[in-house]
Each structure stands twice: as structure tokens, then as C-alpha cells.
Amino acid sequence: MKKTEVDKTRDLVARAILERGPATAVDLAARLSITPAGIRRHLDSLVADGILESREAHVTSVNLRGRGRPAKVFLMSDEGREQFAHSYDDLAVSALKFMASKNGSHLVNEFANARAEEIERKAKTKIATKTTLKARVDALTDYLFAEGYSATTAERGTGLEICQHHCPVAHVASEFPQLCEAETEAISRMLGTHVQRLATIANGDGVCTTFIPAAGKTLQSASSTNRGE
């Protein structure tokens, strides 16, 4: 059935939250050039259908303005993510559960590591020519975005953050956190510096957030240290 303009706009709103993470109605209205009343109608519809969830925004001294109700933040629900392309299915979860139940937890770990190493192998070609940490982070983010993670990079305090607004294996990772752990270790190896995973979609957060300290070693300096240079 052909989508109406209302359906297309509704999908656009959902996609904006999927790709850029949790947002308020005011933020979305400005970003998508939709009237506040119009954006709220779409948000209410998406919440009613279980595609989005709403939470009360954290209130700080900066956003304490007026006497109105605290702004709500809208984020993608698990059901909403299922509306978009995923690379997992029930068979994957069942297979990993079967391995774990047969005293094969080491096999689950091996699978997680193999998956992370495959990501690392493919992404390294994008990162290898970059000579600064920021350039490597940007290249890795571009790779993750192309692979369906809807990743973005932002400067945060004393470092950089990679935010993955979509996770193709979120449901599997919620059952087997080894996938997230192995992926984090792979990111650290690719960037040649310690990284810290601050949040994950699999753990119920709105986005997967990885912090990279700006003072960390680059791949080149890290490899030189390892060689004793």
C-alpha cells in the first residue's frame, strides 16, 4: 500500500530519532522544519504505536525556564528498532543459548570475538591511512554508519564520543553482553587507545556511547611503544 504524506513524515520523525538519538519535540520541530503542533501529533502517534518511548528530560539550572511542564525526551523503543533492518533473528539467539547451555560459554565468547575481529578487519582499511586520533575516530564512525549503526561523532570534554544510535544486534547483545564487550575491545585496538563504553542500547540505553580520551595514544605511537621504540 502506498504511503501517504502523513506516513512519510511520521517515518521521517522516527528515522531522525533512530539516527540522531533521543530528542525533544522542540529539537525535532527545528531539525525537520515541522510546526511544534505537527511534530507532537506524530510523536503521540509513534508513542501510541509503541515505536517511541517518552521520558522526562533531566532538568538543570540551564533549562529551568518558565513554569511549564518539564520537556519530554523521545527515544526509540525496542519495538521501534524492529521496524528497521536488523542482522539478527531468533535463530541466532537460540543457537547461542544452546551453546551456552551445553557448557559451551567459551564458544559464545569465541563467536563474539570472531564477530568483533571481522568488524575490525573491514574497518581497518578505512582507518589505516589516518594519522591523527580524530581522523581515525571519524573514519571509524563513517564505517559504522555505512554498516547500519547510524553512528555520529561529537567532542565531549577532554575527548571524543562515538554514538551508535542503532544496533543491528541489540536483541542478541541484550542476551549475550559478550558481543558488546568484544566490540568495545575491537574499537580500542583499532584506535590504539583505551576507550570506555558509557552506554549500550542492549542494556536499555537510548544509544551506544563510547568515550575516547583525547590524550590517548594514536595507533602509530601505540605500536611504536609496543616495539620498544
Q: Are 19 and 32 in contact (CB under 8 A)?
A: no
Burial zone of 90 (CB within 10 Å; 0-12 exposed, 13-18 middle, 19+ buried): exposed
Domain with CATH 3.30.1380 in the chain: 90-226
CB-count exposure of residue 66 (10 Å: 0-12, 13-18, 19+): exposed
Which of 57-66, 78-87, 100-109, 168-177 shows the lowest per-residue confidence on average (mean pLDDT)? 57-66
Q: Which amino acid is at 112?
A: A
C-alpha cell at 214: 583525547
CATH 1.10.10.10 in the chain is located at 5-81
Termini Cα distance of the chain: 64
Cell numbers at 43, concatenated: 510523536
* pTM, entire model: 0.61
Phi, psi of 60 (to 5 degrees): -125, 175
Closest by CA to 173, choosing from 47, 101, 86, is 86
**CATH domain 90-226 topology:** Muramoyl-pentapeptide Carboxypeptidase; domain 2 (3.30.1380)
Higher pLDDT: 193 or 222? It is 193
What pLDDT digit, counting tens, does each position of 91-126 carry?
677 778 888 787 777 888 898 999 899 999 999 888
Query: How far apart are alpha carbons 15 and 12 in whole angstroms?
Result: 5
What does the alpha-carbon distance between residue 16 and residue 8 come to, in Å, rounded to a whole number? 12
Q: What is the CATH number of domain 5-81?
A: 1.10.10.10
pLDDT in tens, 156-175: 888 999 999 888 788 788 88
